[in-house]
Structure 1
Amino acid sequence: MTTETIAIVGASLAGARAAQVLRQQRKDLRVLLIGDELWAPYERPPLSKSALLQDSEPTWIFPSTWCEEQGVKLVTGRKVVAVERAGAFTLTLADGEKLSADKVLLTTGGRPRPLPQAEGIGQVHYLRTWDDARRLKLALRPGAKLIVVGSGFIGAEVAATGSEAGCRVEVLEAAPNFFGAIHCPVVRSRLIAAHREAGVRLRAGVKISRLKATEREIMVTIEQGDNLLADLIVVGIGMLPNAELATSLGARLEAGGIAVDDEYRTSVPGLYAAGDVATRCTVDGHSRRYEHWRSAQEQGVGAAYSILRLPVPPLSPAWCWSDQCGQRLEIAGEPAHWHTRIDRSLSDREHITFHLDGTRLSGITALNSSRLLRAGMAKLVNPWHPDPAQLRDVTLPINKVGTLDSSNEALQ
């Protein structure tokens, strides 16, 4: 009897967690974990923060000896350029080597969305890998003029870190408002104030028409006609899923990612996907790709259980965080799907907003309010229809907030 081989393409958080579960549950499997970076799997959240300020190693997901001790074959620095399926799968690496597998899990994540005007300009940085962070750290010298394009999580965190490193920082956002992923005006305005207090200049509704590099500087021309000078530029305008391998096999795509069911199975038998590259249907019927730490970790675990034909653990409510300018932003659930916002301002520093889809709690946005957010997240596990007046009452603990009765729900 031949040994079953599982190939995990993408030495990411999702891929690493999948490898751990596969080995914990089955000692007889042959597990391949293949990554195109030179490094063993590492945590990505520090890349936009501490990795830009400190001389350190990556934060490893598991000890350096784990793969060898557990019999997991770790392949680094070698990209999978093709996958074919004729019964079993054949994976072709960039150097021409071919590997066989019975099942394949794609945890390939994504790559930064490029700024077309920046092509070929060396002083323009993107941030996705440890090598990106090392290169950017060398450029964040005190007094340097840093322009950040985009005010998403990466852009905002790099702006905050650049300011802390002593750079003169300016953020250019094409949308009319900053921090578009934050569906709470109070939290958004407080973060804007924190950035400005840290010396970050913010300009919204600004689109770049041209970049021109000289030996020492970059001239940034915006559509409004102004010319800005920068020593370096960091682009943070989203990411593109690395779904090419799945596409080559004919797998169905959705919302830009690889479409998977509740058990992380794609439309191709034996092919699974998890993490940033996977699109799942949420409990409220929306198709969504999650690009955050917790979802990558839990999806990697769930995909491994599915591959082993074991019951797949349910996902926790979506949750992400961002540390910027001394502020802790946390978002849980699906705050974008709301009809009503209910605010609790506990102080000038602490704030939490509950987002209701109809009468059901759909999401939470919190600033420096981790304890209250955790209490609210417990209510996102199952449909919860809170009494709005009680939910607004800052003196009432979340677990004491009552629910609407059926007659009130009918009126809504």
Structure 2
Amino acid sequence: MTVNSVTIVGGGMAGFTVAKELRSRGFTGGVTIIDPAGAPYDRPPLSKDYLLGKRDHTEIQLAADHWFEDQGITIVTGKAASLKPDAGTVVLEDGREVTADRVVLATGGTARRLPIPGGDLDSVLELRTKEDADRLRAMLKPGARLAIIGAGLIGAEVASSALPFGADVVLIDPVDPPLVPAVGHELANRLHSMHPERGIDVVTGTPTAITAGADGKHHIELASGETITADAVLVGIGIVPETALAESAGLETDNGTIVDESQRTAHPRVYAVGDSSRIRLADGTLLRRAEHWEHAMNTGATAAAALLEQELPKHGASWFWSDRHGVHVEGVGSMVGEGTVIVREKDGEPSVVFRLDPDGFLAGCAAVDGGLAVRAARRIIDRRIPVDPAQLADPAIDLKKLAR
């Protein structure tokens, strides 16, 4: 069947990339993006520059309004309610229908709620949209106490961003230190220690209940018996993939909409990309679902190529980034698994951490303010270039030389 039109449900990075790649790859047919927020915008700034007021809503759009007009891409503002895969029809909550030859699900995810009493209170905040960031910003006032449950990437970023407002911050997580699977134990310790150094209260504990008093104060009970009182509570413990649309169409889901390596579901007219998709390899292996910004772009590019029956792009080892307290964190590959950990220090602190697999090849790398090192590590991982562990540990050795 010739593809003359594509509907993309979801205006995040993954959905936007599908549209952009379709046009850059020469597709001249109809392209429609459906999203409740209208024009696609970038999510990472929500916990940083947008929350801080350094960038407004127009400055975080993934493209200017005229770009969509110039590219002939239609934006439909609305929420998809169901999908009829055989017809390629997306039904919106208000009854409107959008039909195309192919449908791409880029539905992302919803904030994971705490499964405890009070975890579903309307006054307990999350951070997934511009409106969420606006609501949080309004509460960040001098002397206001913000409790953040979850000290992962988002929690740490918000904790850092809240300080310039003069807010008091308490950061709660059951793990000490968080982020070990992402950056290794040495860097995780360094990053987590930045919070108390800057006046943030760090509490290792598990919330068991949240109550809201008539005075607007929130009381967070911990398993230890301690109670933490705060004016506002933000929960940042990950997302739940949004698969309701896929399920309405009878598509297979398992912590994500199941797709093959071309991002196609079991139905030939439907693809899925980004946070809500999960790849099953040809041998039946079900990969872990990924949520990183670059993964959204990569899956979007793959789906666009597959839709046009072009050669699928090759992507390198997975990569992520984050910012907190004025430092930039990056990681590539996997820091989880058997093997050898090698630490490169700078000024007496761990700066770059590497993981070699049991065969001695580089499998993962994470760094603080070390973007060039991470890029070199990615090349080494992708090309399986043999490296000397002693040279990895030596800060005098330029990693770019090892990547040649």
Shorter-normalised TM-score: what interval? Answer: over 0.9
Q: Give the aligned partner of residue 369 of structure 1.
A: 370
Q: Give the aligned partner of residue 73 of structure 2.
A: 72
C-alpha distance 112-185 of structure 1, shift in aligned 2 (>3 A): same
Deviations 1:39-89 (A, max 9, x none): 41111111001112116224111111122222211112x111000133x31
Q: Give the aligned partner of residue 121 of structure 1.
A: 121
Q: Give the aligned partner of residue 390 of structure 2.
A: 389
The number of residue pairs the alignment matches comes to 399
Q: Give the aligned partner of residue 339 of structure 1.
A: 339
Q: Give the aligned partner of residue 261 of structure 2.
A: 262
Confirm whether residue 61 of structure 1 aligns to residue 54 of structure 2. Answer: no
Deviation at 1:290, TM superposition (A): 1.8
C-alpha distance 374-402 of structure 1, shift in aligned 2 (>3 A): closer
Q: Give the aligned partner of residue 380 of structure 1.
A: 381
Deviations 1:201-227 (A, max 9, x none): 111133333423323211222121122
Q: Are the equivalent residues in 2 in contact too, given 1:263–1:306 (CA < 8 A)?
A: yes
The aligned runs of 1:41-52 (5 Å cut-off) are 41-52=40-51
Deviations 1:362-398 (A, max 9, x none): 1111112122122111112123442323322332222
Confirm whether residue 225 of structure 1 aligns to residue 255 of structure 2. Answer: no
Amino acid at match of 1:109: G
Q: Are the equivalent residues in 1 in contact too, given 2:183–2:331 (CA < 8 A)?
A: no
Comparing 280-289 with 16-25, greater Cα deviation is found at 280-289
The aligned runs of 1:2-401 (5 Å cut-off) are 4-37=4-37, 39-54=38-53, 56-58=56-58, 59-76=60-77, 78-86=78-86, 88-116=87-115, 117-119=117-119, 121-254=121-254, 256-280=255-279, 287-348=287-348, 351-358=351-358, 359-401=360-402
Q: Are the equivalent residues in 2 in contact too, given 1:3–1:28 (CA < 8 A)?
A: no
Q: Are the equivalent residues in 1 in contact too, given 2:119–2:209 (CA < 8 A)?
A: no
C-alpha distance 207-2 of structure 1, shift in aligned 2 (>3 A): closer
Q: Are the equivalent residues in 2 in contact too, given 1:104–1:270 (CA < 8 A)?
A: yes
SS at match of 1:61: coil
When normalised by structure 2's length, the TM-score is 0.92
Q: Are the equivalent residues in 1 in contact too, given 2:260–2:281 (CA < 8 A)?
A: no
Q: Give the aligned partner of residue 409 of structure 1.
A: none
SS at match of 1:164: helix
SS at match of 2:196: helix
Distance in 1 (CA, whole Å) between partners of 2:71 and 2:85 is 28
Distance in 1 (CA, whole Å) between partners of 2:184 and 2:9 is 37
Distance in 1 (CA, whole Å) between partners of 2:335 and 2:166 is 34
Distance in 2 (CA, whole Å) between partners of 1:148 and 1:181 is 21
C-alpha RMSD of matched pairs (Å): 2.4
Distance in 2 (CA, whole Å) between partners of 1:377 and 1:370 is 11
Deviation at 1:3, TM superposition (A): 7.5
When normalised by structure 1's length, the TM-score is 0.90
C-alpha distance 236-181 of structure 1, shift in aligned 2 (>3 A): farther
C-alpha distance 330-122 of structure 1, shift in aligned 2 (>3 A): same
Deviations 1:266-300 (A, max 9, x none): 12212111111111368997712221111111221
Deviation at 1:185, TM superposition (A): 2.1
Q: Are the equivalent residues in 2 in contact too, given 1:350–1:369 (CA < 8 A)?
A: no
